[in-house]
Structure 1
Amino acid sequence: MRALLLALLTTITPLHAAELILALPAGSRSWSTAELLTHPQAQQIEIANDVSYKHSMSYRAVPLAALLAGVQPGDHLQAVALDGFAAELPAAPLLSKTGSRAWLAVEDPARPWPPLAAGKPSAGPFYLVWSNPQAANIGPEQWPFQVAKIRQLASVTERFPALLPAATASADVQSGFALFQKNCLACHRLNAVGDSQFGPDLNIPHNPTEYFAADFLTAYIRDPQSMRRWPQGKMPGFSEAVLSESELSQLLAYLRHMTGRKVDSW
């Protein structure tokens, strides 16, 4: 009964006015749906090839930079979604007013967005979208939807030293660590650290490089449903346009490296 109630609440929440919490250097505040829809800089925008909807979408949106009072380009932010997805976001591209531009799309309760898929809710009530994302190499994990909170935090390396590769690790491993932060940390923990509660830990008790043959792990990352088909699977596939072959090799190098740096917390 509780699971059914939670499912119903998740489905209907975007149809009602909501609140977005911002915890930033200038202080914490909440923005209601109504306040954001009538924000002085709110406007109608067109997003081509929307990452979540897989086609062009039109939104009432506010430039995210207009909401980030006191945030500096070198700062680090995190967007937390209703389902526990936690996107780690460097501030610089969020503040940019040229090239790739970040927008907070706001779902109007009177004009709800379509569901993301049959039986699923919409991307609302708040959704971080990008115009011209290719200019700054913005990846799919940097488009968090159903956002509930945006907060400033210390960098990933400061908060979670258990994620760090050895100082003597190769350049490929170091690059793989950066790719892990961008593409994996929003859903997964590693060595029992990370803020997301969405996906399994990728190092304890076992690292996927320990139980997947290399070719199968690559295929799984490219298209999870091709390896394990189940209706509730949520992991997206990472195409070569998102993660090139060389980048995927670097990511796997980082994961293999971390098998030798497990923490004793299982």
Structure 2
Amino acid sequence: MLSLLRRLCLLALAIALPLHAADLTVDLGHGSKTYSTAQLLARGDIREIAIPDDVSFKRAMRYRAVPLKALLEGVSPDDTLQFVASDGFAAQIPAALIVRAQGSEAWLAVEDPAHPWPMLAEIKGDAGPFYVVWTNPAAMKIGPEQWPFQLASIRRQPPVAERFPAVRPDPALKADSPVLRGFAVFQRTCFACHTLNGQGDAKLGPDLNVPHSPTEYLREDLLRAYIRDPQSLRHWPQARMPGFDRKALSDRDLDDLLAYLQHMAGRKQP
């Protein structure tokens, strides 16, 4: 009986403990570091910041946050950083946007287990325990895919084209080709959720080239509408793909992205 009571007490304690205290792994190529929620909340450089128009919550939010570049000692502006979330989202963000900020500043928002953030309406989940947010994101055209939440790790990686050669366009293309511009758009907006030709780290969305590219089975006008607002083409309340309005993806960027996808439809690899 005593053993049963002890187990019940431990279970009650486990339920009562904060659920969002967690660890963040940062690996910049010279040994990984692990930061706990408690360590980050106790840092001397933590601040309370205001985000007037939060990308994920769709409203004004306030966070306790650490300047992200303070956790990236030794990173070069030429590096690529990979932000991996617990749900399989894997954003590639150029380090220059963070360490050479010109108007926008990246912050690591830390969820306090004693004061959890509200649930995200679109995915019916939590953005914590760690979330990359930006002050004045418009100054450097920071897109919605560069706001990774449910963050689990940050890693320095070689450039995408070097790690995943099957996603590269034809190397004979001219430097000003729309396809090459579209490749850059693809890395910024699509590669965080999708693979292409079976290559990539993301685990959220389907492959965008095998067995078929969406340019092969959707009319161009429907594909454009789907990218702008996925629910306008196929209503599915549980869908995870966000829409990309013209603030997040200009008409020219969309043109270039479609040029890249059409080009890669002719470069399928098993």
Q: Give the structure-2-normalised TM-score.
A: 0.90
1:249 aligns with 2:247: no
Decide which of 198, 203, 211 is 1:192's aligned counterpart.
198
Give the conservation status (yes or no) of the 8 Å contact 1:82–1:148.
yes
Give 3-state SS (helix, strand or coil) of 1:168's partner.
coil
Give the conservation status (yes or no) of the 8 Å contact 1:15–1:112.
no
After TM superposition, the structure 1 = structure 2 runs for residues 62-211 of structure 1, keeping only pairs within 5 Å, are: 62-117=66-121, 120-169=124-173, 171-211=177-217
- Structure 1 consecutive aligned stretches of length 4 or more whose deviation exceeds 3 Å: 12-15
Give 3-state SS (helix, strand or coil) of 2:225's partner.
helix
**Structure 1 residue 102: Cα displacement:** 0.4
Code of the residue aligned with 2:128 in structure 1: it is G
Q: Distance in 2 between matches of 1:157 and 1:119?
A: 31
How well do the aligned residues superpose, as a CA RMSD in angstroms? 1.6
Give 3-state SS (helix, strand or coil) of 2:266's partner.
helix
Give the conservation status (yes or no) of the 8 Å contact 2:102–2:139.
no
- Aligned residue in 2 for 1:22: 26
Shifted more, 14-23 versus 54-63: the winner is 14-23
Percent pairwise identity:
58
Q: Distance in 1 between matches of 2:138 and 2:246?
A: 14
1:30-87 alpha-carbon deviations (Å, 9 max, x no partner):
1000000111110100011000001110000000000012111111110000100000
Code of the residue aligned with 1:133 in structure 2: it is P
Q: Distance in 2 between matches of 1:189 and 1:162?
A: 10
Give the conservation status (yes or no) of the 8 Å contact 1:14–1:121.
no
**Structure 1 residue 98: Cα displacement:** 4.5
After TM superposition, the structure 1 = structure 2 runs for residues 216-231 of structure 1, keeping only pairs within 5 Å, are: 216-231=222-237
Larger Rg: 2
Q: Distance in 2 between matches of 1:98 and 1:122?
A: 30
Q: Distance in 2 between matches of 1:185 and 1:97?
A: 23
Q: Distance in 2 between matches of 1:115 and 1:44?
A: 20
Q: Distance in 1 between matches of 2:60 and 2:114?
A: 21
Decide which of 210, 214, 221 is 1:215's aligned counterpart.
221
Unaligned stretches of 5+ residues in structure 2? 1-15
- Aligned residue in 2 for 1:38: 42
Cα 1:151–1:14 change in 2 (3 A) is farther
Code of the residue aligned with 1:146 in structure 2: it is Q
Give the conservation status (yes or no) of the 8 Å contact 2:102–2:140.
no
Aligned residues: 253
Code of the residue aligned with 1:130 in structure 2: it is W
Shifted more, 113-122 versus 124-133: the winner is 113-122
